[in-house]
Amino acid sequence: MRRKLAAGNWKMNGLLANMAEVQSLIAAFPAPQPVDILICPPATLLGAIAAQCRDSAIALGGQYCHTATAGAHTGDISAPMLKDAGADYVIVGHSERRADHGETNAQVRAQAEAALEAGLNPIICLGESEAERRAGHARAVVEAQLDASLPDQGAFVIAYEPIWAIGTGLVPELGDIAEIHDAMRANLAARYGADAAKSVPLLYGGSVKPTNAAEIFALENVDGALVGGASLKAQDFGPIITALAASDGA
């Protein structure tokens, strides 16, 4: 059975002073935990936080990786570098990367493949814009991204993040979240087979907060969350983790 995952994406936030938040999480959620807990800090903090999280319930991930293992790519970071720094996961295809850096579905797929080759578990992000949602194309957009962004094989996580809900405080109706997650599970089953599809964690992301986490996690095909701003503070991320554990019967 797939394990549920609470993943925190710190984005371009975090200095050494913020490592106290990680220590608070470690203290609040000692190993082992019934669900997986992940923090994806900026690359500048990976090594330091990895040392802090050793033998804890907290796993670490990167926020992006290049498709190449090494080379003349100033300012980029490779999947082997993330692994070497202590990461077990990496986020690929986040809408902010797609928008700010023009990353395509094909590039996202190549990044996921590079992550798998390095021994990382990619979290592959997808989601529709507000205009696409209003036009009734949300499901079609997500399924097209699934078809073009996923590797042919390997262990990965999928995060559905409607772009219009990220950092805005807006959240889709529960029925809309359920529809997309159910469609993603069916898409995976058609491509990889029913058994393989059941092993893929499907996360929701987009203004997840302590006040709405429990109702989102109660949906059948929601296996956790990719949390942005609320993951920066242990007092906010902690209740989300607790809600996820409760939804798992812990």
Q: What is the CATH number of the domain that holds 156?
A: 3.20.20.70
Q: Has 94 been annotated as catalytic? A: yes
Query: Which segments of the chain have a pLDDT < 50?
Result: none
pLDDT at 1 (0 to 100): 74
pLDDT at 248 (0 to 100): 77
Q: Under 8 Å CB-to-CB from 55, ≥6 apart: which residues? A: 31
Question: What are the distances in angstroms from CA 30 to CA 53, 140, 244, 248?
Answer: 11, 41, 16, 17
Q: Has 181 been annotated as catalytic? A: no
Which residue out of 21, 94, 113, 181 is catalytically annotated? 94
Query: Which structure tokens are listed for 155?
Result: 């262990």
pLDDT at 96 (0 to 100): 95
Question: What are the distances in angstroms from CA 74 to CA 45, 69, 71, 78, 195?
Answer: 19, 13, 9, 11, 41
Which residue out of 21, 113, 128, 161 is catalytically annotated? 161
Domain count, the chain: 1
Quick one: angle between helices 174-192 and 138-149, nearest 10? 30
pLDDT at 250 (0 to 100): 52
Q: What is the extent of the structural domain holding 84?
A: 5-247
